[in-house]
């Protein structure tokens, strides 16, 4: 039983319509202003992956990685730390900058 999203041409807001069966229940009305003639939207969705499949895909990304090369290591760390950079703090950026310059940090 899907939930469809629509945009109202009158108030320009989204409405979600829960459909109970395969037969259409008629033309949906805007839940905000009551207007009809809504435009159906394409809804976003996510694909859930198991922990093991995400672990496997991470290993494929690191194929050919030379851990003795500070520049290659810095590139890999920037990719992995991209989403968590705020949590890592300025020390992370300093360390990676040093590695990109070809130096291994202490």
Asked if residue 35 has pLDDT above 90, the reply is yes
Asked if residue 33 has pLDDT above 80, the reply is yes
Query: Same structural domain for residues 65 and 40?
Result: no
pLDDT confidence of residue 83: 58
Residue 39 in any domain: the answer is yes
Residue 50 in any domain: the answer is no
Residues 41-99 have pLDDT tens digits of 886 666 777 666 555 555 445 566 677 788 888 787 777 766 565 566 677 777 878 88
Query: Same structural domain for residues 5 and 38?
Result: yes
Query: Same structural domain for residues 94 and 68?
Result: yes
pLDDT confidence of residue 22: 62
Residue 105 in any domain: the answer is no
Residue 53 in any domain: the answer is no
Q: pTM score, two decimals? A: 0.40
Phi, psi for residue 6 in degrees, rounded to 5: -130, 155
Tokens 């805007």 sit on residue: 30
Q: Is the dihedral of CA 82, 90, 99, 65 positive or negative?
A: negative
Q: How many domains is the chain built from?
A: 2
Higher pLDDT, 48 or 34: 34
- Contact assessment for residue 65 and residue 76, using Cβ atoms and an 8 Å cutoff: yes
pLDDT confidence of residue 70: 81
Domain limits for position 9: 1-44
């Amino acid at each position: 039983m899907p939930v469809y999203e629509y945009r109202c041409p009158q108030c320009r807001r989204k409405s979600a319509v829960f459909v109970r069966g395969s037969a259409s229940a008629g033309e949906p009305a805007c839940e905000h202003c009551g207007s009809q003639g809504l435009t159906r939207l394409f809804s976003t969705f996510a694909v859930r992956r198991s922990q093991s499949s995400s672990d496997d895909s991470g290993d494929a990304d690191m194929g050919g990685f030379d851990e003795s090369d500070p520049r290659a290591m810095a590139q890999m760390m920037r990719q992995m730390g991209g989403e968590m950079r705020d949590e890592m703090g300025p020390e992370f950026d300093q360390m990676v900058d040093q590695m990109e310059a070809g130096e291994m940090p202490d």
